[in-house]
Structures are given as C-alpha cells and as structure tokens.
Amino acid sequence: MTDEIWRGPVRDVAQPARLLGSTVRYRGHVWSVRSDRVELPTGHVVERDVVDHTGAVGVVALDDADRVLMIRQYRQPIGGYLFEVPAGLRDVSDEHPWQTAQRELLEEAGYTADTWHVLVDFYNSPGGSDEAFRCYLARGLREVAGGRPATGEAEETHLPRTWVPLDEAVELVLRGELHNPTVVAGVLAAAAARDRDWTTLRPADESMWQLAPADGSD
C-alpha cells in the first residue's frame, strides 16, 4: 500500500488525466453525454461517462429581516416538489453569471436586488458531470411592479414563494427536510458568511472560477 497521506496544500487543482479517446453518446436540448477513455495518474485505463453541462447559477435572496426567499417547483427527475432558491442554466451566450443570476431572480420570483456578492462556488456532481455552479447573495430586494414576467417554461407556470428565516432554513437543511443542492449549499454558506460579518463575500462581477494548475505536489 502506497503512502496515502496528503502533505500538499488543500486546494482543488486542474490536472487532467491523459485522454485516450472520447465518444459522444447523446446530444440533448441542453446537455450531452460523452464517454472518455483515460489513463489515470495511477496508470489505470478506464472509461467514464461525462455529462457536458452548460453550468448554472443560483441566488440566496435575503430581505432586511434575514429571511430567505424560496420557491416551490416541480422536478420530473425526482417526481416531486422541492423548495428552491431562484436558479437557472447559463444557457445565454456571453452572459456573465451575475447577469444570469439577476435574470433568474426576476423571472422566477419577480424581484431585483441592489446589492450582490458571490456567496459560494461548487461542482454539482463532479463524479459524472462538469457542471460548475455559482451561488450569489442578493440583498436590498425590490419587488417589481406587475409581478414576475412569464417565461413560457412549463415548470415555471406556477411558482409559489415563501420567506424562511435564515436560521430556520439552516435547521430545515440539517434535519433533512430540504434537498435542493443550491438551497443546501447556499443556506449554509449564507449562515456561515453572516456569522463572519459577511467578510467572506466576494465581488459579484468576479470571473467564473477555474481550477488552478497543479503545482507538482503529486
């Protein structure tokens, strides 16, 4: 057994395995699936299916009473309704993720916000997808006149909304009553940021992150 103690810095890095071949298995309306044959750093040759994803953003919108805006939406893959925060795909060419987040907050909840920050970044399911997700914190909320605009998307025809105190939202996550990944990550990140006097927030116009190159620690 080789030494499995990591002694380098704790940070995610880009260090692609050697690609031996790639085959597209499916092309869909939004994403595709390919099979990559790669040689891992361990020397093993494997084939892995990968979902090519556009990426997405979400918005934890907090009002002046530290309540989180949530919407209730049907999700066919799980066959049920989830409480979520406004979110959407990065499927508009050349649109900054911050602009996407602003659009989604308007379209799914009918709100705009005066103050925006990057709250947390994550890969949604890195074992099978390259989906990069950014969650924003929006404050200074203002409801638009006439309500949210109709987008024409079937799942967005009816989106009941509610306001949940941030501490209560944390409890709901920890009790296993909320399961949407953006809600789970966003609510816990918002509570952690608040407890640090918001010092961990990053500028809303920050470029979408990329994995840093490996430094040879392997």
User: Which of 156, 168, 171, 177 is flagged as catalytic?
Assistant: 156
Q: Decide: residue 53, CB within 10 A, 0-12 exposed, 13-18 middle, 19+ buried.
A: buried
Residues in CB range of 25: below 8 A, 6 or more apart: 32, 33, 34, 35, 49
Give one DSSP letter per residue of 54-101, joined into a string.
--EEEEEEB-TT-EEEEEEEEEGGGTEEEEE-SEEE--STT--HHHHH
Q: H or E segment at 71? A: strand 67-75
Distance CA 149, CA 60 (A): 20
Tokens of 203: 């500028």
Q: Decide: residue 50, CB within 10 A, 0-12 exposed, 13-18 middle, 19+ buried.
A: middle
Catalytic residue status for 104: no
**Count of residues making up the chain:** 218
The secondary structure of residue 123, as a DSSP letter, is E
* Residues catalogued as catalytic: 156
